[in-house]
């Protein structure tokens, strides 16, 4: 057994106590540093370990598109509701009576009739549609018609309409809103006003035929068969009667 000198031990006690104190300070400082580092580190995944993110399907892949379509079911739907189609028929009959080469389309995308060099502006209107669109004899859009039904002004509908109106205005396409309370005569008159056309005459109103006026086919009697001659158009034969007219 080694012998310890009490005096020597007492002389070494302060140095030993200082060593222990320094060691404790270092251990405490290191522990605090680790806690601070963990608290500052961003915790993106919470308490769970990070997992590999799953990427969605690549919709630019034509093969994936075909597989998706082949694996899905489809059914047809109406392009216009009942009240919209009622307005559509009124306008369609009116532009037929005008006989200026106008044509009427339904649910037309603004991205198909408007263009702009500004990408953000085009994206803002590309998927928006108008209920009805009148084009002239050369295929240019001239009048957009929106039917404002009872449930139209819901959510951000007013904002969407404002975007469409401004884009159409800048492109020089007129804009007409038709409401539930508008009568057929009011719709006809407003369509003509927006197209810059006068009101129809009583003669036009009295002639319900799709040709009307001077474009109506003439009838020439030739024995037992009657032949209707007119401008170029579709021809059909029924019981030795040939009908030809401009549609």
Indicate whether this model's pTM tops 0.75. no
pLDDT per residue as tens digits for the range 14-53:
666 666 676 676 676 677 666 655 555 555 555 555 566 6
- Going by C-alpha positions, the residue among 161, 179, 155 that lies closest to residue 110 is 161
pLDDT tens digit string along 203-244?
A: 555 544 443 433 334 444 444 443 344 444 443 433 433 333
Mean pLDDT score of the chain, rounded to an integer? 76
What residues contact residue 64 under an 8 Å CB cut-off, 6+ apart?
57, 58
| Sheet bearing 129-135, strands edge to edge | 103-109, 129-135, 141-148, 174-179
The three-class DSSP label of residue 171 is: helix
Domain boundaries, the chain: 82-206, 217-244
Segment 161-186, tens digit of pLDDT: 999 999 999 999 999 999 989 999 99
120 and 114 in contact (C-beta within 8 Å)? Answer: no
Query: Cβ(201)–Cβ(215) under 8 Å?
Result: no
């Amino acid at each position: 057994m080694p012998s310890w000198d009490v005096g020597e031990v007492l002389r070494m006690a302060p140095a030993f106590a200082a060593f222990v104190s320094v060691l404790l300070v270092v251990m405490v400082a290191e522990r605090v540093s680790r806690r601070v580092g963990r608290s500052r580190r961003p915790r993106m995944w919470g308490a769970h370990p990070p997992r590999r993110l799953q990427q969605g399907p690549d919709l630019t892949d034509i093969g994936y598109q075909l597989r998706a379509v082949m694996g899905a079911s489809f059914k047809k739907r109406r392009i216009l509701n009942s009240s919209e189609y009622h307005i559509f028929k009124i306008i369609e009959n009116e532009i037929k009576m005008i006989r200026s080469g106008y044509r009427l389309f339904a649910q037309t995308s603004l991205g198909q009739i408007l263009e702009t060099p500004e990408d953000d502006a085009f994206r803002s209107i590309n998927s928006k549609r108008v209920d009805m669109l009148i084009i002239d004899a050369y295929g240019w859009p001239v009048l957009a018609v929106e039917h404002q039904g009872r449930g139209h002004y819901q959510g951000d509908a007013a904002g969407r309409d404002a975007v469409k109106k401004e884009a159409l205005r800048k492109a020089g396409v007129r804009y007409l809103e038709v409401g539930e309370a508008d009568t057929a005569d009011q719709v006809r008159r407003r369509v003509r006003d927006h197209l810059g056309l006068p009101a129809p005459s009583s003669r036009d109103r009295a002639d319900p035929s799709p040709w009307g006026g001077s474009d109506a086919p003439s009838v020439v009697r030739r024995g037992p068969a009657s032949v209707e001659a007119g401008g170029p158009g579709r021809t059909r034969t029924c019981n030795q009667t040939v009908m030809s007219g401009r549609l």
